[in-house]
Amino acid sequence: MATKYIFVTGGVTSSLGKGIISASLAKLLQARGFSVTIQKFDPYINIDPGTLNPYEHGECFVTEDGAETDLDLGHYERFLNTPTSQANNVTTGRIYYHVITQEREGAYLGKTVQVIPHITDEIKRRLLLLGESGEFDIVITEIGGCVGDIESLPFIEAVRQLRWELGVNESCVIHLTLLPYLKAAGELKTKPTQHSVRTLSEAGVQPDILVCRSEHPIPTEMRKKIALFCNVKINSVIESLDAETIYDVPLLMRKEKLDERVISKLKLPHRADPDLDSWKEFLGRLKNPTAAVNIALVGKYVELPDAYKSIVESFIHAGAYNECKVNIKWIQSEHVTDENVASLLHNMDGVLVAPGFGERGFRGKLEAIRYVRENNIPFFGICLGMQCAAVEFARNVLGLQDAASTEMNPNTPHPIIDMMADQKEITQKGGTMRLGAYTCELKKGSKAYSIYGKSKISERHRHRYEFNNKYLADFEQAGMQATGINPETGLVEVIELQNHPWFVAAQYHPELKSTVLNPHPLFVKFVKAAINFGKSN
Ligand code: GLN
């Protein structure tokens, strides 16, 4: 069957949850047996979000092939349980970069290079790329930003052209809008939706389906009104109420028959109703916990939990698996000191020290790690969290006073964490870290080995610094083992402390591989350790 294309646009405001709606629709179609992928087109000029501050854009999600991408790709993977790749995230910057590079190479000799057709052609080429692989029945493209934004225009124009070229029933457009509730008037308002659909129509794109975010149920009369003003069928006005959890949204969309509307619009072959048993089972466990744990998440971007999106979601998956509610206590690492660490952490069942960059909050992370190491509280370090665990151990157990990472102190006499050799020559910032999937060999008999249940694993990375193997023998002698090693380079990937109930830290990012149907074993076992710790206290 020829690949069908679904475009998801947004209007009225940002943050309506296009990513979750796209992922939920994809889930419903996948659960009917279609192969589906989702891609995100972002209208900003950065080549990718790798150079953006997490405060600005939330977490940077890294794919298997090492692309630094928008956090929505994390949702796509968590919902669909299939990996995405560089091709699944495209920005205006990447489009222009390609066109301008081509221009310099002489690809357009004699021609004026213009937004239409050259930029829109390149957008269209990328819109079709995944579909042309032959792997997918359906490609869903989420267009970032709001219709009406100047920077979205070339994308909307490319969608207009492509729909025309693909022909009827080959594509459909879902427009996500908001029906604000006016308390004083006591009613939902449709005008912003009418306006945003009009803006989209003026650009030549008529949506087929409207998904209306709303805090209250949408009365039938109002659905009729929206249908009338916006040129859609009444059954294509889909209500999207605020959900208790994002993982409810596929079921809510199923109830509203979003998948059926899409199937009929695209004339997709008939398939059985979606098989959502395992999804529902997950929701059942998520909503009926039999235990609860408090886990401190120590990081410097805690004011914006989106900066740690994949970690938070991994805890949701692992919590559900353990039928345990995981309460995350956000701790700003900058505020942790020798004096307050006990009062901050004493009633925690586990502590996770988060990934990050730069000096700010580094000391507080070391204090938190010292406290959990000395008090046998389950500890999980990720990336910078693992590097901090190594520095803390060097300082407080090995007695190397000024031990540090050269990221924080380039002149330290004890560079426990140092820049990787192949990073030293690099001056360009974007896309140049050690990125994506690498294999790792776990030592038999270690905690890591028993957690994964196997020795050969593959995990995703995003870092420039590494554990300095010069110190490894001293570490191991004093009880901190390197239990995961990259077999090709010898880089330390996992360290764990002997004589501690659960002290495991990884240089890689396990949170990037946790999905609803495949919760990550490290998170699952960390939550389990926290449950046991809670019971014993
Ligand atoms: N800043 C550290 C490095 O680059 C850790 C990165 C991270 O936590 N993702 O190695």
Q: pLDDT tens digits for 233-275?
A: 999 999 999 999 999 999 999 999 999 999 999 999 988 999 9
Put residue 110 in one of left, alpha, beta given phi > 0 → left and psi -120 to 50 → alpha.
left
Q: Which of 463, 466, 467, 492 to mutate to test the pocket of ligand 1 (most atoms within 8 A of CB)?
A: 463
User: Bridge-partner residues for 5, per DSSP?
Assistant: 139, 171
- The owner of tokens 């919590």 is 319
Ligand 1 centroid to Cα of residue 68, in Å, is: 14
390-443 residue pLDDT tens:
999 999 999 999 999 999 999 999 999 999 888 888 888 888 899 999 999 999
Q: What is the mean pLDDT of residues 323-336?
A: 97
3-state secondary structure of 372: helix
CA of 378 relative to ligand 1 center, distance in Å: 22
Percent of the chain with pLDDT strictly greater than 70: 100
Q: Which atom of ligand 1 is nearest to 354's Cα?
A: 8
Q: Convert the pLDDT of each residue in 295-327 to its tens digit.
A: 999 999 999 989 999 999 999 999 999 999 999
- Centre of ligand 1 from the C-alpha of residue 38, in Å: 28
Chain mean pLDDT for the chain: 96
pLDDT digit string, tens, across residues 468-499? 999 999 999 999 999 999 999 999 999 999 99
Using alpha carbons only, give the angle 484, 461, 66 rounded to the nearest 5 degrees: 140
Of 148, 155, 118, 119, which is closest to residue 43 (Cα–Cα)? Answer: 155
Between CA 527 and CA 531 the distance in angstroms is 6
User: How much distance in Å is there from the Cα of 243 to the middle of ligand 1?
Assistant: 34
| Cα(174)–Cα(7) distance, integer angstroms | 6
Please give the pLDDT value at position 11: 93
Q: Give the pLDDT score at 212.
A: 98
pLDDT over 90 (residue 55): no
Distance 358 CA to ligand 1 centre (A): 8
Distance CA 183, CA 275 (A): 40
Say if CB 186 and CB 219 are below 8 A apart: no
Nearest CA to ligand 1 atom 1: 357
219 DSSP 8-state letter:
P
Within 8 A by CB and 6+ apart from 239, the residues are: 212, 214, 217, 218, 223, 256
Ligand 1 atom nearest to 355, measured from its CA:
8
Ligand 1 atom showing the smallest separation from residue 383 Cα: 8
Q: Is 175 helix (H, G, I), strand (E, B) or coil?
A: strand
Nearest Cα residue to atom 8 of ligand 1? 355
How is residue 443 written in tokens?
């030592």
Retrieve residue 279's tokens. Answer: 């999804």
Q: How far apart are CA 292 and CA 295, in angstroms?
A: 10
By CB neighbour count within 10 A (0-12 exposed, 13-18 middle, 19+ buried), where does 303 fall? Answer: exposed
pLDDT reported for residue 217? 96
Q: Which residue has the tokens 């140092």?
A: 418
Task: Give the CA distances from residue 126 to residues 34, 39, 173, 296, in Å, rounded to whole numbers and listed in that order.
Answer: 21, 10, 17, 41
- pLDDT value at residue 15: 85
Residue-wise pLDDT for 164-219, tens only, equals 999 999 999 999 999 999 999 999 999 999 999 999 999 999 999 999 999 999 99
Catalytic residues: 383, 509, 511
pLDDT at 427: 83
CA of 404 to the centre of ligand 1 (A): 14
Confidence of residue 59 (pLDDT cuts 50, 70, 90): very high
Closest residue by Cα to atom 5, ligand 1, is 384
What atom in ligand 1 is closest to the CA of residue 509? 9
- Assess whether pLDDT exceeds 90 at residue 537: no
Which of 383, 429, 492 to mutate to test ligand 1, by most ligand atoms within 8 A of the CB atom?
383
How far is the centre of ligand 1, averaged over its atoms, from the C-alpha of 264 (Å)? 47
CA 108 to chain centre: 37
Backbone angles phi, psi at 84, to 5 degrees: -105, -175
* pLDDT tens readout for residues 509-524: 999 999 999 999 999 9
Q: From the CA of 324, how far away is ligand 1's center (Å)? A: 30
Of all protein residues, the one whose alpha carbon is nearest to atom 6 of ligand 1 is 463
pLDDT of residue 421: 80
Quick one: which of 92, 162, 171, 173 has its CA closest to 125? 162
Q: Which atom of ligand 1 is nearest to the CA of 382?
A: 8
Q: Mean pLDDT throughout 355-382?
A: 96
**220-230 helix and 191-202 helix, angle to the nearest 10 degrees:** 20
Report the C-alpha gap between 178 and 185 in whole angstroms.
17
CA distance 133 to 146: 29
Distances (CA, A) of 485 to 379, 398, 450, 536: 20, 22, 15, 33
Distance CA 223, CA 365 (A): 52
The pLDDT-based confidence of 9 (bands split at 50, 70, 90) is very high
Closest by CA to 231, choosing from 257, 262, 194, is 194
Q: Which of 333, 387, 460 most suits a substitution to test ligand 1, by most atoms within 8 Å of the C-beta? A: 387
Beta carbons within 10 angstroms of residue 524's beta carbon: 19
Tokens of 460: 């995703």
Q: Tell which atom from ligand 1 comes closest to the C-alpha of 462.
A: 9
If one residue of 407, 422, 429 were mutated to test the ligand 1 pocket, choosing by the most ligand atoms within 8 A of its CB, it would be 407
* Segment 149-153 mean pLDDT: 95
Atom of ligand 1 nearest to the CA of 466: 10
- Residue owning the nearest CA to atom 3 of ligand 1: 463
3-state secondary structure of 505: strand
What's the CA-to-centroid distance between 465 and ligand 1, angstroms? Answer: 6
- pLDDT-based confidence at residue 1 (cuts at 50, 70, 90): confident
Kindly list the protein residues whose Cβ atom lies closer than 6 A to any atom of ligand 1: 355-357, 383-384, 407, 462-465
Q: Label residue 12 by pLDDT band (50, 70, 90).
A: confident
Q: Which of ligand 1's atoms lies nearest the C-alpha of 407?
A: 1
How far, in Å, from the CA of 232 to the mean position of ligand 1?
Answer: 49
Q: Do 442 and 448 form a contact (C-beta atoms < 8 A)?
A: yes
pLDDT in tens, 36-47: 999 999 999 999
User: Probe ligand 1: pick from 424, 464, 492, 509, max atoms within 8 Å of CB?
Assistant: 464
